[in-house]
């Protein structure tokens, strides 16, 4: 679980920052990034 959090969450946040830079709105990019990060953790924790 800790390993998935350490990998999935930062990837989601980094993706959100990149997306925010592309669309020119960092707030929306960060919100999407956090959502992706939490979604990634949720998906990873369901699978054995």
Name the domain count of the chain: 1
pTM of the model: 0.47
The domain of 38 spans 2-46
Residue 2's pLDDT is what?
59
pLDDT by residue (tens digit) across 14-35?
877 788 888 888 777 777 777 7
Residue 20's pLDDT is what?
80
Convert 21-30 to b/e letters by CB count within 10 Å (16 or more is b): eeeeeeeebe
- What count of Cα atoms within 13 Å lies in the side-chain half-sphere of residue 5? 2
| DSSP states of the chain | -HHHHHHHHHHHHHHHHHHHHHHT-HHHHHHHHHHHHHHHHHHHHH--
């Amino acid at each position: 679980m800790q390993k998935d959090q350490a990998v999935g969450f930062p990837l989601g946040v980094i993706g959100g920052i990149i997306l925010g830079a592309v669309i020119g709105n960092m707030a929306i990019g960060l919100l999407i990034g956090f959502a992706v990060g939490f979604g990634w953790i949720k998906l990873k924790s369901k699978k054995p």
